[in-house]
Structure 1
Amino acid sequence: MFEHAMLAKMTPMHNLSVTINQFAHDLIRHLDDVVHSHRQSMRRCVKGLTAMTKELVYSGKTKDVFALENGNYLLKFKDDCTGKDGVFDPGENAVGLTIEGVGDVNLRMSIYFFEKINAAGIKTHYVSANLDDTTMEVLPAKVFGEGLEVICRNKAVGSFYRRYKQYCNEGDDLPSYVETTFKNDELGDPLVTKDGLVDLGVMTAEQYDSLKEMTKQITKIVADDLAEKGLVLYDIKFEFGYDADGNVILIDEIASGNMRVYKDGEYVDPMTLSELFFA
């Protein structure tokens, strides 16, 4: 009886001790998590600061380019978009508007497709990315000439339709039509043919054939994934370069801001496209 009485008296104190010990244990774990999170944040800040203090190599329409000590480059995505009169248009040459957060969604889309394209065995310049500071690390590559854009068209829209509307209706299907343009704002990014590129010494015939085949393969990957979300890819714009061995590689980005996508016959803007795709 005495032992039971003593046990009954000790139980509340014992429970209190257990509660205090559990609280202390939970507090320590919480503090550890806070410290770990703080360290991770500091690492990201230091990494971003280190990259951003590098010499600016180039400031583009939608990205800034920085050199890294390891020989690679860092792309810093902006919230600027190509367009005209405040309306987004991937086919325009000049920055026409700024959309808050579009740099983030363009990087997220680029990460998704670069990783998928790399896994398919198609050469790209993608190394890694950091969504926290909106940057992407890439391999060094040389551009063709002073820069070349490659457009793959599945539908007759945009500048294609404006040029050839006497031969087609707007929205007509196209068999993954590939066209190349020189990057030159003053001249309006003039079209150039395979023969023109080869005769001007911009690339070899073999490089052009590789570029064209890669363009169709990548476009199919993008279009198929969009189709799974009920989205239709009308056209998409890429940039290609070549590595030290002369191999053609996909460079720049694969972003919602570089593609024209429709859903149920209605155009989908870059921000909405990202929301629908990653839903």
Structure 2
Amino acid sequence: MTSLGGATMGTSWSARIVAPVSGLPEGIAEGIEAVLARIVAQMSQWEPDSDLSRFNRAAPGAWRSLPPEFNMVLAAALVVAERSGGAFDPAMGALAELWGFGASGRAGEVPDAGEMAEALRLGGRACVEFDPLLLRACRYGRAALDFSGIAKGYAVDTVAAYLRGLGLSDWLVEIGGELRGNGIKPDGQPWWVDFEAVPGSPLPPIRVALHGLAIATSGDYRRNFEVAGRRYAHTLDPRTGMPLDNGVASTTVLHGECMLADAWATALTVLGPEAGLALAEREGLAMHMVIREKAGMREILSSGLAAMLE
């Protein structure tokens, strides 16, 4: 088995690949790096010349052509946004910038209430017009795309597709904690992985086999800042403009596509325990949620996940 890895998207990537009898194709690591570089060039808000950054700088009302992959990710993000009632929104980049969780990276200050109200009123998915058939979109007001809740998952799927295209069937791909597995290891075992644990959680670990499955986790412990004794998590509620304060420490979703596992994990986290579980049941999602309470931490499992663990 060959292990490869590197840096991408402000984090790391890794791939564990079982070589066929004929051996691995030459240049496979470089091929993966090229796949990831292409996605960054399209979808990174931290790269000023990316397609996403250029879209966000475009004059309001001006249509811009989109690369096919960008187009597909935006389409998927808008579907999750619609089905979650706006708990997920790929066009809240202006709001993320205000809170310091965007490309400027100036987290540490609570933004002015008037600025937040303006970003909410003049931003969000309602201020993006999208024509998926013609691969184009335009923005209005202060709408700015932010794919941080879906791009890593898409990158995992794209690397997986690259490996399949090389005729490889047994591998585990990971980017920043999002994973997708296929086939089996050399010992005949599937790719067993543990759910990402909340730091300090006493809850027992959950282990699953990623056989044709992907897993993504949204956690409030990854990025945050504190002001006057109050902690502000990096996940924002697109409906209120505020960082989450609903007790959700983490949400993990298992799905056939890592892109959708990524987006749904964010949406369910925003919705919180009751509404999040209700949506997971309605969408048939395999979800695990950890809630912080005064008495400690408790976990919620959707029926889809509970059935998988039986």
**Larger Rg computed on CA atoms:** 1
**TM-score (normalised: structure 1):** 0.29
TM-score (norm 2): 0.26
Kindly indicate which of the two structures has a greater share of residues assigned to helix: 1
